């Protein structure tokens, strides 16, 4: 199928805040999605600032993160006397709900029917900024590059992520590896699985040892857990189990995330609600 190309956002705000360098606004996004999203009545500005201070940020960095997030439309403020009641805007609430589905729905076992989706990307040579933007978005969507403008994923339904944007063009195919193909070599060329394994192993090492005591410590641990897990849907191409080594650590990391998240959820939310009251 011949088409022009625009990669539908995998939400760009979530991606940049999930995989970029640690910053107060990135951590604030985790706090908003994990705790404020469930509170339609919002929270006092001091609760958000206090949450970030508990997570290791200075008072000025925490306050600036909240102010900038309000200025950019993540939050809206209602003045009540000398205080500000903070609520999510409709657009940020929708973004965070989409993010929650992506975060909590990621990592489940998946089978494979043997087919690949191949995309041949063509961008005019003089449009290097467009090429960089589109290839970056394809990578975040889980496509791997085989070089020469050829991109590949075992998720044939991800063709729906690709839409028209001039002047880029593409050809898409659904195919199986032929007699001269080597699936293991395809995977090794398209994705850096050793680096991804290191990320999962570090996640397991960090949170398998964590034993918080008290609501405040549990709030800190739960926020760190979600913040760390939040990046995996953007750096892991989510290859089916059939294509991965038998000892691949994603399943162990996923089980650890779900077990810890369920165990810590009530105490963490209780602490935030106490700040927000």
- Residue entry with tokens 């699936």: 183
Cα separations in angstroms, 35 against 41, 50, 93, 130, 252: 12, 13, 12, 37, 25
| pLDDT above 60 for 242 | yes
Average pLDDT over residues 5-20: 56
Q: In what order do the strands lie in the sheet with 169-175?
A: 2-4, 169-175, 116-122, 150-153, 144-147
Instruction: Report the C-alpha gap between 184 and 48 in whole angstroms.
Output: 47
Half-sphere exposure of 38 (CA within 13 A, CB side): 12
pLDDT tens digits, one per residue of 87-119: 999 999 998 998 888 888 888 877 899 999 999
Bond before 167 cis per omega within 30 degrees: yes
Q: Can you read off the two tokens belonging to residue 244?
A: 């991965």
Looking at per-residue pLDDT, the higher value among 16 and 199 belongs to 199
Q: pLDDT at position 158, please?
A: 83
Q: 19: pLDDT confidence band, cut at 50, 70 and 90?
A: low
pTM score of the predicted model: 0.85
Q: Does residue 249 contact residue 195 with C-beta atoms inside 8 Å?
A: no
Q: Does residue 74 contact residue 48 with C-beta atoms inside 8 Å?
A: no
């Amino acid at each position: 199928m011949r088409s022009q190309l625009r990669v539908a956002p995998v939400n760009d705000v979530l991606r940049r805040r999930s995989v970029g360098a640690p910053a107060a606004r990135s951590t604030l996004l985790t706090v908003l999605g994990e705790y404020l999203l469930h509170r339609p009545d919002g929270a006092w500005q001091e609760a958000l600032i206090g949450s970030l201070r508990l997570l290791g940020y200075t008072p000025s960095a925490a306050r600036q993160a909240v102010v900038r997030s309000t200025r950019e439309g993540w939050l809206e403020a209602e003045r009540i006397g000398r205080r500000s009641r903070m609520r999510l805007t409709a657009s940020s609430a929708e973004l965070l709900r989409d993010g929650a589905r992506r975060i909590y729905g990621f990592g489940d076992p998946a089978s494979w029917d043997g087919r690949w989706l191949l995309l041949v990307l063509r961008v005019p040579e003089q449009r290097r900024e467009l090429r960089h933007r589109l290839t970056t978005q394809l990578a975040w969507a889980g496509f791997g590059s085989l070089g020469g403008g050829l991109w590949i994923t075992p998720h044939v339904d991800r063709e729906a992520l690709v839409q028209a944007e001039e002047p880029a063009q593409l050809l898409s195919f659904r195919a199986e590896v032929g007699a001269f193909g080597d699936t293991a070599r395809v995977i090794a060329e398209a994705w850096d699985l050793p680096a991804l394994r290191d990320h999962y192993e570090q996640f397991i090492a960090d949170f398998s040892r964590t034993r918080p005591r008290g609501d405040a410590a549990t709030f800190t641990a739960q926020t760190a857990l979600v913040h760390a897990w939040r990046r995996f849907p953007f750096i892991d191409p989510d290859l089916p189990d059939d294509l991965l080594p038998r000892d691949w650590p994603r399943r162990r990391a996923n089980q650890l995330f779900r077990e810890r998240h369920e165990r810590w959820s009530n105490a963490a939310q209780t602490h935030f609600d106490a700040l927000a009251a």
